[in-house]
Structure 1
């Protein structure tokens, strides 16, 4: 039986520095989430310094939520620098199928070989070239419908692909896990999905990326379950969620992780 808590323990021992090129909506929330989990966030996106920073950070995340041409150049420079340094980097293809600019950016970033790709079902399907039914940044497709696209995308890119939703699916193209942790209130708090990408990156530093991603998803979902027990609505849930991320122990994760081979 896998001890999923060991991945949380190793992440906290490392306290990795995570560079996040993310959207305006999520910056503050994502930084607080990473601090609560035990990592160190850096919100570095300027074209003039993003690549330099990516050459020495522990891990990099790239989120295409609020795109602009200078940001895309920063993303490409940072991804190239991460590759050169052998640094883990995670792509969050927010609403990648919504516009031509997003589709082109997503396709371009795949050329830089992300270690992990994390998105909702519609995003993963669109990134893989399938017809998807996204509603802005929200998924209109089921995780089940995206599993084949995730496997194909993983095989085509060499990346770990995580599809997040009511149940999560993470695959390397041949081996896959289903993670059943989580709570329905989580999508009602803005930027929790974006922030999850940072937690996935933190877990993947110095750890096998498939297992680390599954552990990160279980940890995040378990925090949602714990928070829901104390919350009376989305506002109090957001506060309780940060506390849960901070207070969950490796032992609690080992006991509470709902991870199965797919």
Structure 2
């Protein structure tokens, strides 16, 4: 296992490639996370579109450079729309990110989540409970929250990566990203990330922007997670140890923008 942070030159260079290429990324996400996700993508230098308006799910994934699907979008979009977006991205060869929010929570919902694996996501990212459940283990999630630590999910995500051919990333105090052969641990961040609604969901959006800009999906996913962790540290410095989570969320977006424009 290799440990890294945003300080690694390749990692920082991969993240700033997003702003250099300014890809168009399309996402389906829940309405709770949509605003933060869009702002995170914009802060990184990419251009987002979110939602299933008109025939977007059958057209945008084919014209975008990256796609993300947060399965909690089922609260406002149909299962058919979700599958259409995944299928369109797959057929077009557009790299896409699956965020299996609340996987393991209910049999019918899990059937939808697992059906999306047939469309070969480029990256699967989530919390430990979600990914352990998706890998066939006992995730023990509590709604959309994890009860497991990211360290406990490493073996499961490595197997899930081998089974699906996707890069798999689990978030936690330490993030782990694997292609089933190589596993990278990303350290850093701030505890207040767990207290901002949609933070994990927006990391899925950022990862879609990264895979749209960086050809190697493992490197792209490492870069998005490392940049997110460093932006959280910047936010913590900005608001101080006693700063509220509302101001922290704003400072997080500012931190991603600062990193993306570090050479300007």
Question: TM-score, with normalisation over the residues of structure 1?
Answer: 0.92
Residue 235 of structure 2 aligns to a residue in which SS?
Answer: helix
> Which of 222, 232, 246 is matched with 2:230 structurally?
222
> Which of 130, 148, 152 is matched with 2:137 structurally?
130
> Which of 21, 29, 33 is matched with 1:26 structurally?
33
The aligned counterpart of 1:247 is 258
Q: Which segment drifts farther, 70-79 or 94-103? A: 70-79
Contact 1:24 1:66 in 2 (8 A): yes
> Which of 233, 236, 239 is matched with 2:244 structurally?
233
Give matches, 1:1-150, under 5 Å. 3-46=10-53, 48-67=55-74, 71-150=78-157
Shift of 1:71: 2.4
Matched, 1:203 2:210: yes
Question: Would you identify which runs of 4 or more consecutive aligned residues in structure 1 move more than 6 Å?
Answer: none
Structure 1 Cα separation of the partners of residues 22 and 219 of structure 2:
18
Contact 2:132 2:138 in 1 (8 A): yes
Residue 55 of structure 1 aligns to a residue in which SS?
Answer: helix
Contact 1:47 1:73 in 2 (8 A): no
Distance 1:47 1:161, change over 3 A: farther
Distance 1:174 1:251, change over 3 A: farther
Greater relative contact order structure (CA < 8 Å, 6+ sep):
2
Residue 41 of structure 2 aligns to a residue in which SS?
Answer: helix
Distance 1:41 1:166, change over 3 A: same
Contact 2:30 2:75 in 1 (8 A): no
Note the residue ranges of structure 1 that are not aligned, 5 or more in a row: 253-262
Structure 2 Cα separation of the partners of residues 66 and 212 of structure 1:
24
Shift of 1:9: 2.2
Contact 1:47 1:70 in 2 (8 A): no
Listed one character per residue, the Cα deviations across residues 120-171 of structure 1 (whole Å, up to 9, x for unaligned) are 0000001111111111111101111111110110000000000011100000
Structure 2 Cα separation of the partners of residues 249 and 31 of structure 1:
15
Contact 2:151 2:174 in 1 (8 A): no
Q: Indicate the RMSD between aligned Cα atoms, in angstroms.
A: 1.7
Listed one character per residue, the Cα deviations across residues 78-124 of structure 1 (whole Å, up to 9, x for unaligned) are 11111111111000000011112221011100111100000000000
Q: How many pairs align?
A: 252
Contact 1:44 1:53 in 2 (8 A): no
Question: TM-score, with normalisation over the residues of structure 2?
Answer: 0.91
Structure 1 Cα separation of the partners of residues 53 and 104 of structure 2:
25
